[in-house]
């Protein structure tokens, strides 16, 4: 008979006679549970000595540990360079499902009442091939939405407001991927500068919703009301058929470097939870001051229990893991694709069906691990991002300046077809999360309008943010009234959106890119909580409304054409269900030669993709991509079973009402410079 799991039931569990708190610490020599007055969270009303058990678990019970109680942990232990015990310090329970603030700014753990009426609403369970991610910030998405009552703008309630839901549904995305919504705080450096961490990648606690994103009424109602508003948001989005994903930050905590604020893990067991050298210096592979040690079973369990809570108790549909390579580092700080935590996340029965997306890198040695995660994971594909940007932006810039692009179309085509050179056959194209932009970096509009970053407002003398933007300003840095420049920028945005939404893989659209939102060249707006980062719901230019309609149309075309959404890679000479048979043709309608693939002068291809039906009807499309600024005439390919082509979309034309939509195989079609055309083959 196996022995009981020592890490079971960590945190507070309420019983008929109060509650029990269980906390893990390998090095503590003593621990106390402090309970505070309900009206004055600075006033201790009870101190309960906790008992040590096998496996490093400490427990304490109290009849006062009931829903609504505020409590803290006090830990004592050895001194030394790797330890930070202080028995007078009130620490946050790592498993606290609620947090309360004192008048002095301290945090208290809170015993949460998890009761909530879900009204029978279930998760939408959208398949990966139909998934379109929409990365958004809770506050930034709705802060200026005039259709939301003013007191709700920028909150969980505003995200669930009927006008926001209608916008998302009309656009055609399926899954809202929220920037961090676990309780976070700003770094000490930013606070001293009078700035704030707007993005929220500085987590204080892994189980509690960020309070300031709740409505004022919920904040006044306390942490329980904040949780209920969050759950209400999830329920209403699910009711509308929209999924909710969370961007989670487990790789480091808000305790920063060794001299940072101690609030939880450091005070409970600094030597165990954080990676350190013998002299106490932190091994920092996150660039954020500390690194949680996931060679530690207790740290692995903390992540799994947090995910289970959000996925089951709060009904969240999936997670995007910030700096996920850190979660796969072993006791030697080396990345291990067989790491038990990486496998547990995608194999845990309690997390079955939950979408898991890795940001597959960190800043440590060997930190770039794109394509190396186990089956069951999807990954941000930065190679896709860079190659697509280069094809439509920097290559065009090079051709203007030197007369020749830097590269041919072959690398672009591999990304378009699902990056099979990056992800294994068993994982398939759904392992690739394709993106052109994200919260971090230039917006779509700024990619076409700036050659350099403009981050002076961040207070770091423009040193922060990447210099490797793969962008092209089309001749003028920043805003301009030059019509030729503006037209080129708009077409470039249409090409970038078209590539993203017509590629094999899971597309991620950054909120605001659908209408060309700008951050005035700031490519690292993590500390900008203002109109610079909020979505503009009013006062858009005409071209922005037109771009929104393009995004909407492309999303509809993606839904309607399963050949664009293969689940598996095709194999030559075999019939693979839910794969797309791909044939490639040059401008003359002949099979691509090596020169056609690789020559910087030959940047045109025709991509014919036919679905292999498994759950949807047969479908075949032809995508024509032309990557030079001069017009070209292509001969549409003659292919067995194809009797004609119907033009569905042209990135060079907003209006197809006067275009000749029907074409025969073998006919010649004029393709405008630097543009794309999508046909349905029949």
Q: How far apart are CA 144 and CA 418, in angstroms?
A: 37
The CATH superfamily label for domain 573-681 reads: Golgi alpha-mannosidase II (2.60.40.1180)
Alpha-carbon Rg for the chain, nearest whole angstrom, is: 27
Annotation marks residue 322 as catalytic: yes
Give 344-396 pLDDT, tens digit per residue: 999 999 999 999 999 999 999 999 999 999 999 999 999 999 999 999 999 99
Q: How far apart are CA 517 and CA 526, in angstroms?
A: 16
Q: Are 261 and 189 in contact (CB under 8 A)?
A: no
Q: How far apart are CA 412 and CA 436, in angstroms?
A: 13
Q: How far apart are CA 188 and CA 258, in angstroms?
A: 13
Q: Are 511 and 175 in contact (CB under 8 A)?
A: no
Please tell me the chain's helix, strand, coil percentages from 3-state DSSP, rounded to the nearest 5.
30, 20, 50
4 — pLDDT class (breaks 50, 70, 90): confident
CATH number of 11-110: 2.60.40.10
Annotation marks residue 359 as catalytic: yes
Interval 627-643 mean pLDDT? 97
pLDDT of residue 244: 98
3 — pLDDT class (breaks 50, 70, 90): low
Question: Quick one: what percent of the chain has pLDDT higher than 90?
Answer: 96
Are the folds of 11-110 and 573-681 the same? Answer: yes
pLDDT of residue 620: 98
- Give burial (CB, 10 Å; 0-12/13-18/19+) of 364: buried
pLDDT of residue 657: 86
* β strands within 174-323, DSSP E: 175-178, 243-248, 318-321
DSSP states along 549-604: HHHHHHHHHHHH-GGGS-SB---TTS--TTBEEEEEE-TTSSBPPHHHHH-TT--E
Q: How far apart are CA 677 and CA 667, in angstroms?
A: 15
- Give burial (CB, 10 Å; 0-12/13-18/19+) of 3: exposed
Q: How far apart are CA 62 and CA 36, in angstroms?
A: 12
The catalytically annotated residue of 256, 322, 513, 596 is: 322
Confirm whether pTM is higher than 0.85. Answer: yes
pLDDT of residue 573: 83
pLDDT of residue 2: 56
Give 398-424 pLDDT, tens digit per residue: 999 999 999 999 999 999 999 999 999
Q: How far apart are CA 182 and CA 336, in angstroms?
A: 27
Q: Are 492 and 118 in contact (CB under 8 A)?
A: no
Give 653-662 pLDDT, tens digit per residue: 988 888 899 9
Domain-wise residue ranges, the chain: 11-110, 573-681
481 Cβ contact partners less than 8 Å away, ≥ 6 residues apart: none
pLDDT of residue 263: 98
Query: Average per-residue pLDDT in the chain?
Result: 97
Q: How far apart are CA 175 and CA 360, in angstroms?
A: 20
- By mean pLDDT, which of 117-126, 343-352, 435-444, 536-545 is the weakest? 536-545
The catalytically annotated residue of 359, 362, 379, 395 is: 359
Give 17-40 pLDDT, tens digit per residue: 899 999 999 999 999 999 999 989
pLDDT of residue 24: 98
- Say whether pLDDT at 178 is over 70: yes
Interval 283-302 mean pLDDT? 98
Interval 96-103 mean pLDDT? 95
Q: Which residue from 356, 362, 361, 363 is spatially nearest to 342, judged by alpha carbons? A: 356
3-class SS of residue 71: strand
Q: Give me the helices (H) in 240-276, please.
A: 265-273
Exposure string over 490-523, b if 16+ CB within 10 A, otherwise e: bbbbbbbbbbbbbbbbbbbbbbbbbbbbbbbbbb
Interval 51-68 mean pLDDT? 97
């Amino acid at each position: 008979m196996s022995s009981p799991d020592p890490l079971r039931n960590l945190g507070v569990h309420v019983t008929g006679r109060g509650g029990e708190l269980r906390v893990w610490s390998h090095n503590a020599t003593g621990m106390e549970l402090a309970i505070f007055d309900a009206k004055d969270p600075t006033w201790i009303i009870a101190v309960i000595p906790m008992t040590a058990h096998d496996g490093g678990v400490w427990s304490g019970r109290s009849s006062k540990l009931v829903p609504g109680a505020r409590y803290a942990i006090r830990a004592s232990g050895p001194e030394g360079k790797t330890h930070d015990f202080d028995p007078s310090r009130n620490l946050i329970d790592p498993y606290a499902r609620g947090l309360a603030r004192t008048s002095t700014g301290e945090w208290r753990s809170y015993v949460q009442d998890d009761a909530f009426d879900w009204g029978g609403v279930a998760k939408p369970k959208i398949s990966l091939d139909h998934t379109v991610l929409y990365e958004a910030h809770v506050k930034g998405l709705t802060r200026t939405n005039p259709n939301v009552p003013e007191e709700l703008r920028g909150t969980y309630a505003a995200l669930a407001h009927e006008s926001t839901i209608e916008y998302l549904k009309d656009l055609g995305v399926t899954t809202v991927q929220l920037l961090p919504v676990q309780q976070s705080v700003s770094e000490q450096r930013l606070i001293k500068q009078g700035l704030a961490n707007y993005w929220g990648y500085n987590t204080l606690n892994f189980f509690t919703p960020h309070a300031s994103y709740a409505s004022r009424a919920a904040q006044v109602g306390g942490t329980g009301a904040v949780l209920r508003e969050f759950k209400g948001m999830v329920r209403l989005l699910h009711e509308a058929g929209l999924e909710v994903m969370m961007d989670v930050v487990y790789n480091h905590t808000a305790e920063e470097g060794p001299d940072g604020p101690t609030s939880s893990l450091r005070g409970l067991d600094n030597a165990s939870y954080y990676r350190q050298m013998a002299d106490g210096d932190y091994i920092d592979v996150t660039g954020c001051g500390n690194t949680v040690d996931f060679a530690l079973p207790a740290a692995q369990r903390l992540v799994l229990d947090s995910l289970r809570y959000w996925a089951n108790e709060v009904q969240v549909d999936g997670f995007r893991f910030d700096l996920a390579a850190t979660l796969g580092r072993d006791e030697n700080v080396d990345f291990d694709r067989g790491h038990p935590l990486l496998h547990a996340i995608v194999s845990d029965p309690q997390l079955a069906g939950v979408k898991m997306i890795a940001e597959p890198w960190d800043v440590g040695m060997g930190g770039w691990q794109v394509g190396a995660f186990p089956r069951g994971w999807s990954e941000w594909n930065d190679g896709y991002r860079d190659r697509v940007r280069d094809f439509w932006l920097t290559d065009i810039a090079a051709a203007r300046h030197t007369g020749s692009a830097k590269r041919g179309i072959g690398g672009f085509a591999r990304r378009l077809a699902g990056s099979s050179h990056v992800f294994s056959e068993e994982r398939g194209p759904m392992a690739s999360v394709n993106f052109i932009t994200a919260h971090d970096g230039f917006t779509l509009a700024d990619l076409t309008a700036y050659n350099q970053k403009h981050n002076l407002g961040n207070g770091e003398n423009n040193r922060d943010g990447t210099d490797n933007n793969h962008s092209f300003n089309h001749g003028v840095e920043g805003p301009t009234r030059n019509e030729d420049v503006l037209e080129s920028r708009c077409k470039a945005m249409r090409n970038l959106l078209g590539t993203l939404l017509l590629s094999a893989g899971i597309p991620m659209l950054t909120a605001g890119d659908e209408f060309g939102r700008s951050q005035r060249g700031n490519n690292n707006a993590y500390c900008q909580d203002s109109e610079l980062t909020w979505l503009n719901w009013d006062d858009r230019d005409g071209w922005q409304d037109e771009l929104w309609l393009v995004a909407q149309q492309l999303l509809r075309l993606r839904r309607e054409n399963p050949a664009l959404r293969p689940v598996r890679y095709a194999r030559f000479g075999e019939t693979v269900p839910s794969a797309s048979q791909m044939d490639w043709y040059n401008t003359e309608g002949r099979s691509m030669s090596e020169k056609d693939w690789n020559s910087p002068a030959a940047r045109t291809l025709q991509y014919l993709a036919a679905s292999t039906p498994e759950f949807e009807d047969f479908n075949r499309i032809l995508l024509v991509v032309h990557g030079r600024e001069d017009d070209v005439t292509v001969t549409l390919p003659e292919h067995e079973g194809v009797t004609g082509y119907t033009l569905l979309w042209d990135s060079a034309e907003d209006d197809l009402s006067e275009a000749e939509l029907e074409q025969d195989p073998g006919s010649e079609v004029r393709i405008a410079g630097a543009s794309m055309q999508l046909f349905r083959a029949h």
